[in-house]
Structure 1
Amino acid sequence: MTRLYGPQAEADPYGLYERLRTEHGPVAPVLLHGDLPAWLVLGYRETLDVTRTPSRFSRDSRHWKDMREGRLTADHPLAPIATWQPVCVFADGQEHERWRGAVNDGIARFDKRGIRRHVTECANQLVDHFCAAGTADLVGQFAEHLPMMAMTQLLGMPEEYGPRLVSAARDMLRGTETAVASNEFVQETLRKLVARKRVQPGADFTTWMLEHPSGLSDDEVQQHLRLVLIAAFETTANLIANTLKMVLTDVRFRASLAGGHMTLPDAVEQVLWDEPPFITILGRWATQDTELAGQPIKAGDALVLGLAAANMDTAVRPDLDAPIHGNRAHLAFSGGAHECPGQDVGRAIAGTGIDALLLRLPDLTLAVEESELTYRSSLMSRHLTSLPVRFTAHRPRRPELTAGPDADGQTGSPAQSVVIPAPSRAPAPSAGRSSWWRSLTNWLRRS
């Protein structure tokens, strides 16, 4: 049986999905970490069937046979994301409605214009840290930090928590040997936040959850903060990085956007179809013996939703190379009652942040060949390890900032003066690329 973990699976997950589809059809038997058996749902219609029938496929992981029989131990790499917790993603029915209702109401109170203003300011702060250098890594210095900067503010957390939370979140989602410890760091950070907001409430998501009429306990609030923080961080960081990569490398995209046929929101949706932030989601668990696409599913079996594979299902998308304009029928945010409630906030953070970056750095170009870009993959996520770029160096808006977060989340010390590299250290882009970026910048300013 094929493993969904390990070097071979992580090297080319998209290729693996297509091989499994060829061998088994829209539902394939696979092995998870520790060789725990599961079913990978590859088909678009089959994924919707699973997400829309909780009576057959529950989100409650206590149905999982391997968990009941003790094979998912406390130190198992999947324990942080699969062990049942008092949060809406592990519930169905009335319990789900109570928890999900509190989350929905809290998200609905966000000031969308306020989010965009804050994200624009955060993006400009990040650009200030590296704009004098003429080069940057847009993953380690931008995409990975912008969502956490935005979310810490929305949750009412001190900004200095951001860098360590970025590292812990990535580690936890990769299912590494230190994933359990990283999860504990996140939990302890949020535990302290909830305790503080009980006595010092504010205009933030944490306070709104504590004050919600459903009467959530401190533990319920903490667990939902973890859910929102981790999901928003990972999905939005990947969405920003993948969209920027598309802007810099995809000829079809550049021609379409420069010609006015594709807006930046359209580009974001294209990326959500082609490279969704979560490539799979674990999971659903069968409540009874049933059948799915001809495969015999037994009660207690685990199912992994193959979101990336479902988006590439030719049964609903015959021409995979054709651009998709304004179509949100993708499964990047799952489907059914558990579809991501914060997807519009994620879109706002990604779109606003990219907009601000492109306006500050209109001659941005890729500093390496596209073939040199590398990815890191895990069961649920596939993300760029770096996105090296170059641009014309210029002084930051805040001159004291010359060194920002590096790939490890560390921040350099403010310098007394800014030294702008000589032109030879920051090669100018080609005339063709510069002209395209100028058209894009003008379009963004007009829209």
Structure 2
Amino acid sequence: MPTPSRRFAGLRETGTLCPHCQIELRTGDDTAVCAKCGSSQHWDCWQSSDGCGSYECSTGRRPGPRNGDVLRVSLDDLDQARPLPVSRPTFAVGPIPISLRLDDDRDDSTPRTWNKLAIAALILSLLGAPLFGVPGLIGIVLGAVALAKHSRRQKGLGVAITGLLLGIADCIAWVIVLAFYFEAPGLAISLDEFEPDPAALKQLPPHIARSMAANVLVHSAAEWGRLRGEGLGSGVVLRIKDATALIVTNRHVVDPAFGENNQPDVPALNKMAKLEVKLLGQAAHPASVVWVAPGGIDLALIRVAVTAIEPQAAEWDDVPTLTIGDDVFAVGNPHGLGWSLTRGSLSQMRLNDFSGHETRIIQTSAAINPGNSGGGLYDKAGKLIGINTWTKDKRMAEGLSFAITFTTLLDLAPAEHELRAK
């Protein structure tokens, strides 16, 4: 027997049946290729069988001569052969009895009935809108059951799907409505509860005491039908004249439509939120918006009656000197905690363009939180230098707060408000 070629099975050998074990060769198998017939087989099978196992090389697989009678068939025998009879079915082939048919193969003349569960699901889902959504939940269940049991003999597949989807829509809508309706009333408490300790205010240095007396708490409420949204912000008294205070705050505190896109158009003032403003030493009074800044700049002026003697107007310089590194402090109402003071430094001066209005922005490390919006940022002498407006998400950064410079308000506010006449 010639020596075989030993190799690892490749594409040519893979899938070939080993003539010894009748198992397919796999890629990478140790393979013997017969030099005589070219047959591929496992190397171990070649060794154990001492040679090639193919039909051509293995003489033991060839049929040997037979002893005994040999059956011979002549041409005459083939001519006399007759075909076998065709087997017949045991029953006649004909229409399948009606009792053996599937339901889906019934005659079209059979009337189709309505799926009553589908109809009930649709009706209950429609009732779920005015009836607090509970029928909508039942409609979802009935719609799902109707779909599961629906047959082609029934009408109402679309009705079941519609009832199911309407029920889901009912539930989602009522969840949203109830979320607004029963929203935590943390902002809906009386503003009279935010009065600071008078004894603590008397111990303050004059420049801080004046800044505290100029701070106000602004409560805004907007309604959309039965839905109501509320918020708390801050403001700074700029002038007190004829028992009326002129206050600066952020536009987003008083305008519910002023969102992240900062609409540049000046809206109708009668469409602003309903406002109540609490000044130091007096109860909350209704307030009105008298001006909003153009170009989407987040500033607004409001007016409110003054009945107490404690409120004072803030002080400022028309042309302040702002230097990076200066000490500053902020006064406002973070999270509704009225008349709170935080300290920091002037981190940087930045520029921002609002629809063609170049605006200077103060970056400060003083802590600014929700509720500080519209409050004052002061230099170390207690002079108003900015209106606190933005803060970075505290989950990502600390000490990144921003205020619009007060000179921006001086440049934009109409002369009738007499802000430069101080």
Query: Is TM (by shorter chain) over 0.5?
Result: no
Relative to the length of structure 2, the TM-score reads: 0.22
Higher relative contact order (CA 8 A, sep 6+): 1
* Structure with greater helix share of residues: 1
* Structure with greater strand share of residues: 2
Relative to the length of structure 1, the TM-score reads: 0.21
